[in-house]
Amino acid sequence: DARVTQTPRHKVTEMGQEVTMRCQPILGHNTVFWYRQTMMQGLELLAYFRNRAPLDDSGMPKDRFSAEMPDATLATLKIQPSEPRDSAVYFCASDREQSYNEQFFGPGTRLTVL
Amino acid sequence: GENVEQHPSTLSVQEGDSAVIKCTYSDSASNYFPWYKQELGKGPQLIIDIRSNVGEKKDQRIAVTLNKTAKHFSLHITETQPEDSAVYFCAASIGSGYALNFGKGTSLLVTP
C-alpha cells in the first residue's frame, strides 16, 4: 500500500559534517512537509512545499538547513554543518492538493550528531 | 507565535476505562483539528479529525469534540485496550492553510 519512504532511517555523524535526508512522498501527493521531533520541543514544522515550490520555511534555521524538491518524487533536507543540537528524529509527510487532507508521515530519520 | 497546548503529558488508565486528552489553541483562524497516534519507532498516524463547522465527531471507540468559542478540543477514547497505548498528538491548522501546529503529546498507557 502507498506510503511515504525516508532514507536513511538512522544516521550517526560527527559535528561539522554534512547530512542529507531524503523523502519520497506518496505518488500523487503534491504537498510535502518536513518536521523535527525532539523530547523537549515535540513536533516542529521546519518547511513545506506545494507542487515542488517552497511555501514556508520559517521554522528552519536558515544558516545551516536547506530543503529542496528536485522533482515530484523526491524531497531533501540538508544540514551543513551539523551540530549536536540537531540530533532529533526528522519526519517527512505528504498530502494531496485539497486542503485538510490527512498528512501521511514517513517512518522518520533518527539523526545523532556527536 | 501561535501554539497548541496539550494536557496531560502522561495518562495511565486501566483496560476498559475511558481516556480523555485535552488541547487548547490560540489561533482564532484555525479551522482544522486532527489527532495523531504515534507508536514507538513509527511516524504519527491520523486517527480522527474535525473541522470547525462541526462540534463533535465519533468513530467507533474514538470521539473528538470542539469548542471554537473557548478554543479547545478533546479526544475521548472509550473501552480502552492495551493496543491503545501510544503517544497521542493534537494539532491545529495554522490559519486556514495547509500546515499544522502540534501539541507536545500525551503518552497513554493502558494496563491490563
Expressed in percent and rounded to 5, the helix, strand and coil fractions of chain A are: 5, 55, 45
Nearest in space to A102 (alpha carbons), one of B84, B30, B36, B54: B36
**What pLDDT score was predicted for residue A99?**
56
How many Cβ contacts (< 8 angstroms) between chains A and B?
A: 53
Q: What is the pLDDT of residues B58-111, one digit of tens each?
A: 999 999 999 999 999 999 999 999 999 999 999 999 887 778 999 999 999 999
Confidence of residue A102 (pLDDT cuts 50, 70, 90): confident
Residue with cell 524531497: A75
Pairing outcome for strands B10-14 and B106-111: parallel
Cβ separation A45–B101 shorter than 8 A: yes
Residue B83 has a CB neighbour count (10 Å cut-off) of 8
Are A107 and B41 inside 8 Å of each other by CB? yes
Confidence of residue A96 (pLDDT cuts 50, 70, 90): confident
List the grid coordinates of A63. 544558516
Mean pLDDT taken over chain B: 93
The predicted structure's pLDDT at residue A6: 98
Contact B93 A108 (CB under 8 A): no
Contacts B102 to A, Cβ<8 Å: 35, 42-45
Q: Is the pLDDT of residue A100 over 80?
A: no
Q: Tell me the pLDDT band of A59, cut-offs 50, 70 and 90.
A: confident
pLDDT interval class at A77 (50, 70, 90)? very high
The H-or-E segment that residue A54 falls in is strand A53-56
Identity of the residue in A4, A42, A48 whose CB atom sits nearest the CB atom of B99: A48
Which has more confidence, A66 or A56?
Answer: A66
C-beta of residue A44 within 8 angstroms of C-beta of residue A61: no
- Pairing verdict, β A88-95 and A104-105: antiparallel
The phi, psi pair for A86, rounded to 5°, reads -80, -10
pLDDT at residue A34, rounded to an integer:
97
Report residue A41's pLDDT band, with 50, 70 and 90 as the boundaries.
Answer: confident
Here the cell at position A96 is: 494531496
State whether residue A108 is helix, strand or coil.
Answer: coil
Does pLDDT of A101 surpass 80? no
Range A33-41 average pLDDT: 93
Query: Do the Cβ atoms of A91 and B43 come within 8 Å?
Result: yes
